[in-house]
Amino acid sequence: MIVAVIAAAVLLTVAALLALVRVERGPSMLDRAVALDALTITLVGAIAVEAIWSRRTETIPILVALSMVGFVGSVTMARFAAKEPESEGAPHSREEVAAQARAADVPRGEQRGGPRGAETDDEGSTDR
């Protein structure tokens, strides 16, 4: 039992140190978020190893609460980091469509399917 606890403690320490290095160096915010999640998991593991070693069950609610905090934090970071493709985005208002048309230098009439000022009859031909 002692060998298993020592091995687990060593592995958790190495994992925590590597996660701290990634938190400090991580080139992007998502790398840092994943490293903090890994650090939370190692903390849960360390508390679990301590609970096993001391044979106490009072730490189980702490493990559950810490796990829930880590999960909610990960989901929140993933939600804010997710980017929607423009083709699958929410419907645009008239103002947004007009702003996109001005940005693309396309007159509003052409964006709707025909040249500006052209009137179409029932067959789709244009009268000028």
Q: What ranges do the domains of the chain cover?
A: 2-81
Predicted TM-score of the model (pTM):
0.61
- The residue behind tokens 């007159």 is 107
* Bridge partner list, 119: 127
Q: What is the pLDDT along the chain (128 residues), one digit of tens a residue?
A: 899 999 999 999 999 999 999 999 988 888 888 999 999 999 999 999 999 999 999 999 999 999 999 999 988 888 887 775 555 556 567 787 788 778 876 555 555 555 555 555 555 555 55
Quote the CA–CA distance of 39 and 31 in Å, as a whole number: 12
Query: Which residues, including other chains, have CB under 8 Å from residue 9's CB and lie 6 or more apart?
Result: 46, 49
What are phi and psi for residue 24, nearest 5 degrees? Answer: -75, -45
Quote the CA–CA distance of 116 and 106 in Å, as a whole number: 10
H, E, C per residue of the chain = CHHHHHHHHHHHHHHHHHHHHHHHHCCCHHHHHHHHHHHHHHHHHHHHHHHHHHCCCCCHHHHHHHHHHHHHHHHHHHHHHCCCCHHHCCCCCHHHHHHHHHHCCCCHHHHCCCCCCCEECCCCCEEC
